[in-house]
């Protein structure tokens, strides 16, 4: 059911919310691998969705590997140290960085105490 709603919607927040609901159902059924796949889908594809943050927390708390760029982009508070650390690891590992989400640069600037004009 949630898959049908996600496919029918063009709203990224709705898609992330359907991943959250699907993941929770799988967790309740003891199917953690499937649940974490739903959570990873939201974190990787809809990082600006508010629901993606709670899924990121669940993944990290359960030691599920999450790409540092996705992790940095999903962190809700741009000035948080987690965001800064995740993005710094990504930049170090990928010197020719590409930004998939504009919030990530805001996060990096904020965490470094840089105010970017315009």
pLDDT tens digit sequence for 58-94: 999 999 999 888 887 776 544 455 666 776 777 777 7
Structural domain boundaries in the chain: 1-66, 67-118
Which residue in this structure is represented by tokens 């600006």? 48
- Per DSSP, the three-state class of 30 is coil
Share of the chain above pLDDT 70, in %: 69
Q: Which helix (H) or strand (E) holds 115?
A: none
Residues 6+ apart with CB under 8 A from 106: 78, 116
Give the pTM: 0.66
């Amino acid at each position: 059911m949630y898959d049908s709603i996600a496919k029918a919607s063009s709203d990224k927040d709705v898609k992330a919310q359907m991943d959250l609901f699907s993941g929770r159902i799988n967790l309740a059924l003891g199917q953690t691998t499937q649940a974490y796949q739903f959570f990873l889908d939201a974190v990787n594809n809809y990082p600006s969705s508010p629901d993606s943050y709670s899924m990121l927390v669940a993944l990290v708390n359960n030691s599920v590997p999450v790409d540092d760029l996705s992790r940095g982009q999903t962190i809700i508070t741009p000035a948080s140290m987690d965001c800064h650390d995740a993005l710094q690891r990504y930049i170090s590992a990928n010197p020719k960085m590409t930004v998939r989400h504009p919030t990530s640069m805001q996060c990096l600037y904020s965490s470094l105490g840089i105010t970017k004009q315009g």
